[in-house]
Chain A
C-alpha cells in the first residue's frame, strides 16, 4: 500500500520534472533520432539484421532509428567511423564477427590498427549461426573422415573457396584444416555469392558457409553438407554432426551479428540501449523477420555477450595466427 503510493508519487514527480526540464535540456536520452551504422553494403547479414532491429527498437526508444550503410575495406571503414564517433549513444554499430579479426590482421601486417576491439562496448548479441561444411553432390566424400583421409593422401590438391582472404569463410575453414592437420588450397573470391558460384560451377571442391545461404541448394540436392561448426547440432540440420562430436574440440565458429556502442558512451545510456534492445530482440516481429532469413535470433545481453565475444575472439585470433601472412 505504502510502497505503491511512494511509487505513484515518484512517477508524478518524475513526470513533472521531465516535463519541466524537457523544454531546455536534451539530457534525457534519447531526445533525437539514432543512427545505426552498418559497415557493409545493403543486402548482407548485418544489413538484414539491422533493419528489422531498427524498426523494433523505435517503439522502445521512442525515437526513429536510421540504418546507415558505410561499406568499405571489408567493414573497416564503417567500424572505424563508429569507433571514433561521438560517444553519446546516438551512434550505434551493428557488426559481424569480423570485428575481432580486422585489428589482428592489421598487426599481422605491421600496420597501425584502424580501430581496436576495446573501442567498443557490447550492447547485445542478436544472432549466431555456426557455418557448415559444404561439398558438391558429385564429390566422393560423404563424411569429414573421407575428406580428411583424401586430403592427407594428396595435400594441397583439394580446393576451397572463401569470401576473401581472412574473411569469415576463410577463417572457419582454416580453423578446421589446422585442427585436422591437412592442407587444402585456398581460392579467395570477392564475397559469399562468388564463393558459392565457384563451388556450384565445379571450380572448387568445398567451402564453409552459413546454413541460410545453402538452404535452397540443399533442398534441390545440388550440394551435400558434411559437418557443422557449432557447439551443438543445428535444428534445421539434425543429422549433420558437429566438428566437436567428430573429435575436433577446438573447431567452433559462428557468423554472428551484434550491436555495439563507442567505448566512452555513458553507462546509463548503455543501460537504456541494452534494455530497449532486449525488448526489441525478443519481439515477435523481429523474430519473424529473422526466421524468414533462416537466421534464428540468438540474444545475449551486454555482459553475457562480452563473455561470448571474448571466447570467440580468442578462437579467431588463434586461427588468424595459424594462417599467418598469406604469401
Chain B
C-alpha cells in the first residue's frame, strides 16, 4: 500500500509536468472530437495520431494516445443523445434512452449524467487498474475459447430475456446481425463467404458502418420523411443540469456500470461494446419501472455510458500487466511503445515504473480534464438542436460519410452504411429495435470463432464446454435461465415471469 502510494507520487510527478499535462489535455480534446464525429471511433483516432507520437518521448506519446482512447468514450455519447447517431460503436445503447430524453427536452441532463458517469467510471477503474492489474490479467488469460463461448451463450440468453418489446422480434434482429457477421473470410478454413467476389468484403462488414447506418442514416431518413416539420427544441438554462431525482436515480447505475464494464473490459475481444449492452440489460432488470426504458429514462444513459468508460480502462489491464494486446486498440498502443524500443511484458511495471505510473496518474488527471471540458460543452452542444434541420442534417450526413470512409479509406464501407441506413429505416417503420443487429454483428465472429476453436482444441468433442469449470458454470447459469423462462409455458397460470409483468405493464400504460 505504502509502496503503491509512493509509486503514485512518482506517477503524478511525471504526469504533472507541464508538457505531459499538455499532452493529456490535447489527447482528451482530440478524443472528445473523435468521439463526437460519427464513424471515426477511438481506434481510427489513435491510428491516425500514432505517427505523430514517434517524435515524442514514450510517456508523453502513451499519455496522448490513451487520452484519445478514453476521451472518445466521453464524446461518443453526445451525438447519440442529441441526434440518435452513435459517435462510436460503444454508444449505440445510449442512443435509445438518451435520444428519447432529448425529445422530452432533457438533453442537458442526459449529457451531464453521461459525462459524470464517465468520470466516475473512468476514475474508479483506474483505481482497479492500479491495485489489481497483474492478478486480473492472469485471470483474463485463463479465459480461453470454451469459456468465451459459454459466456456468450449466457450473455445472449440474458439479453434476449431482459430486453423489452417482442422477444421474437428481438431474437430475429440478433439473428439478422449474426448472419451479417458471417460475411467474410472463414477464419478457420480460409473460404470466402457471401462476399460475391468483392475483395473488400473479405474482412466482413465492420461494426462502424453498420452502427452509423442503422442509427444515423436511418434517423436522417426518418426525419426527412416526417410530414410535419419537427419542432425545434429550445432548452432553457435551468434544464441543462440534472434534477436531484435524476442524480439519485443515476448513482447506482453508474456504480453497477463501472464494475460490469471493468470486468468485461479485461476479457479479450471487443469488450467495450458488449459491456454497454449488458449494462443496459442489467439496469432494466433491476429497475422498478422497466417499462419506462426506451422512453427516456436516465438509468438507460448512466449504466451504458459508465460501462464503456470502465471497459476501455479494463482493456488496458492485460496489455500493461503482461504485454498481451487483447484487442485492436491495445495493440496500437503497444506498437506506440515498441517504436520507442519499449516492449511491455510481464516485467513492464517493474522496469518502467515512470511510464506505468505516469500513465496511471495521467488518467486521473485526464478524467478531471474531460469532466471540466465536457460539462461546459453540454451548454454548447444542446444549442445544436436550435439549428434548423435542413442545415443540421445534411451536415451530419456529410460527417457520417467522411467518418465511415476515414476508418479504412474504403468506399465499400460507405456503401454498407447506405444499405444499412435504408434497412434501418424500413425496420423502424415496422417497429423493430435495431440495436440487437449491431450486437449480432459484434458478436458473430467472436461467437463462431470461439465455438470452432474450442472444438478444434477438443478434437470435435462437445464435452470440453462441461469439463472446464468456468465454462461449466456459465452454461449452468444459461440452463437455469432457460428453465425459468420456460416454466410458465409448461405450467400455465403460474406466473414466474418478470417478462410477463413487464409486457403487461407496457400494455397497461
A contacts, CB < 8 Å to B: 41-44, 47-48, 51-52, 67-74, 76-77, 80, 105, 109, 111-112, 114, 156, 159, 164-166, 185-191, 193-194, 196-198, 200-204, 212, 215-217, 219-220, 222, 289, 291-294, 325-327
Contacts and interface: CB of A to CB of B under 8 A. Distances in A.
B335 A73 contact: no
Contacts of B410: 70, 72, 77
Interface stretch (B106-114, B184-192, B369-377): B184-192
A176 B394 CA distance: 57
B187 A188 contact: yes
Contacts of A220: 345-347
B347 A216 contact: yes
A166 B330 CA distance: 25
Given A203-B144, A220-B347, A326-B190, 11 more contacts: A72-B200, A76-B199, A156-B459, A165-B190, A193-B324, A193-B325, A200-B141, A202-B142, A204-B457, A294-B338, A325-B189
29 contacts: A42-B335, A43-B331, A43-B334, A48-B335, A48-B338, A51-B54, A67-B51, A68-B409, A71-B408, A73-B203, A77-B202, A77-B203, A109-B191, A109-B192, A165-B189, A188-B453, A189-B449, A194-B326, A197-B141, A197-B268, A198-B145, A200-B141, A200-B322, A215-B343, A216-B344, A219-B347, A289-B339, A326-B190, A327-B189
B482 interface: no
Contacts of A105: 190
Interface of B: 47, 50-51, 54, 141-145, 184-185, 187-192, 197, 199-203, 268, 318, 322-326, 328, 330-332, 334-336, 338-341, 343-348, 408-410, 445, 449, 453, 456-457, 459
A72 B199 contact: yes
Contacts of A74: 185, 202-203
A41 B341 CA distance: 20
B458 to A, nearest CB: 10
Given A190-B449, A200-B322, A216 B331 contact: no
Nearest to B144: A203
List the 4 closest pairs (A to B, CB-CB), nearest first.
A216-B345, A73-B202, A43-B335, A292-B341
Contacts of A73: 184-185, 199-203
Contacts of B348: 216
B340 A292 contact: yes
Contact of A42 (B145, B332, B340, B456): B332
Contact of A72 (B189, B203, B268): B203
Contact of B343 (A52, A68, A165, A294): A294
B332 A43 contact: yes
Contacts of B184: 73
Contacts of B191: 109
B345 A219 contact: yes
Contacts of A326: 188-190
Given A43-B335, A165-B189, A187-B456, A217 B203 contact: no
Given A109-B190, A165-B190, A197 B324 contact: yes
Contact of B346 (A47, A67, A109, A216): A216
Contacts of B334: 43, 193
Contacts of A165: 187-190
